[in-house]
Amino acid sequence: MRKIWCEGDDRRRRRNRVALGALALIGFGAVLQFGTGLLQPARHHLHKVRLEVGRESLSRLHYALLQRNLVEVNSPGSLPSSAVPDESLCAGGLPTLSIVTDERGLHSREYGIIANPLKRGRFWERQANISYFEGGKLRHETTAGLRVHGGTSRSDVLKSFKIIFRRSYSGETGSPPGLFFNGESLGTRRFVLSNTRAPVRYLNALALELAAELGCETSRLQPVRLVLNGERMPAGYFLLEHQSRDLLRARYGHNRFLWVRLKPASETRNFARRRFSRFMRRVRRHPGPVTAEEIGRQFDLDGLSSWILAVTFFATTDEDQGGYYLDQTDPEARWRSLTWDMDGSFNKGEKVETHTFHFDSVKGARGRLFRTLMRDDPAYREAFLGKAQAELDTHLSPERLRALFARYRGYLDTDLFAGQERLREQLDNAEAFLIERHALYLDALRQYIREIARPALAGHHPGQAKD
């Protein structure tokens, strides 16, 4: 029997054609984004082809081809970013990052990332050629992604940036291991270039170094000179590892983590965040006193104590930064934390008349865990006091502090931070702040312990006063 045509059949056919077209587009996009590894043999063949033309012609032709991912670098120094116009910008053995990208991608009103600094995401990433000089010599050149980086600092006149290595740009999924940080870089995919036009960002680098000495997990960092499209930036920069799952993958060699990023909040609404929140609720609703032994099975207490010591000794404000992670390959894994963004430390480099200590008001989950343990567990109080005493005698001793500040003053004596005289004054203030605080910290901590121990001595259960 002949099938009778109806309008519904026609609509179904049209829907099917649209669905097939959409699937084809998605598949094609996946090949472009993720399938470049399959094309590596062909790219390697192109890599071996030499373009026998003059230097100037090579730069123009190569730049056009590289921007379209049609050919890779065929000899060192071929990228436009490696042809720094003024050789003095790379002299003196000081590290330099040269970045060259389309000016319209930076300053165009419609899609320039500097002209639209508050925009975020992959759409606001621009392809760029990047060359790294150290010891006056070219160490590495590649093509990578460039974005504006930061929170409120995005509105500043001078921008900070993020560099992202992608296979789709150059075939590289990260920087070469050992390239940065005195040979200690791990081939990380994302880096931050933080400008020091605001002195607190210079102090942030110093605070992160000190926090790492205390045992906090922080980003590796180093000062660099930044040249953008041949123009020397008017302030020094610090190159830092960006804290993300990519950093964990580089450090541990796998990607099986529950990862909770504290800022921006939009990145924390996931399964990992919910699981961490359940852990914190169990602590808050615990029927009796909470012990360090019990919490230590689920949270890294050494890292917790190191972070609390850092933010209370440095007087860090806006301290709830970084993230939490759980290694799912370890059956006995505990939540651990990363330390990030300590630019509110040392009274922001301003002189202070009276020192205050905020043990009982540290923000975030780490602050709540600390207060709960200090109130409930005398053994933890004793352990934290012992750790503070040991660190003040070693990593935070006046001699170690003066040596670190001397190194950061040495950076100011180079042309990396030329013209930033305000930095020197605030560095002096920060050093005086820490030396004065060193003599006061243990007395303030003992006073805090006496205050929280009184309710327990009076028969009051400290757990009733939990946050």
Per-residue three-class SS string for 271-333: HHHHHHHHHHHHHHCCCCCCCHHHHCCCECHHHHHHHHHHHHHCCCCCCCCCEEEEECCCCCC
Q: Please, what sign has the CA dihedral across residues 20, 24, 30, 33?
A: negative
More confident residue, 467 or 436: 436
Nearest-CA neighbor of 96 among 46, 146, 130?
130
Does pTM surpass 0.85?
A: no
For the stretch 110-134, pLDDT in tens is 999 999 999 999 999 999 999 999 9
For the stretch 173-230, pLDDT in tens is 899 999 999 999 999 999 999 999 999 999 999 999 999 999 999 999 999 999 999 9
Nearest-CA neighbor of 357 among 321, 398, 388, 400?
388
Q: Which residues are CB-contacts of 331 (< 8 A; sequence separation ≥ 6)?
A: none
For the stretch 80-116, pLDDT in tens is 898 876 777 777 677 999 999 999 999 999 999 999 9
Q: How far apart are CA 130 and CA 139, in angstroms?
A: 11
- Give the confidence band of 236 by pLDDT, cuts at 50, 70, 90: very high
The DSSP output letter for 335 is B
CB 164 within 8 A of CB 183: no
CB 277 within 8 A of CB 191: no
For the stretch 251-290, pLDDT in tens is 999 999 999 998 865 554 588 999 999 999 999 999 889 9
CATH number for the domain formed by residue range(s) 248-465: 1.10.1070
Question: Where in the chain are the domains?
Answer: 53-242, 248-465
Q: How far is CA 280 from CA 244, 275, 297, 369, in A?
A: 22, 9, 13, 8
At 394, the amino acid letter reads: T
Q: How far apart are CA 195 and CA 242, in angstroms?
A: 14
CB 312 within 8 A of CB 359: yes
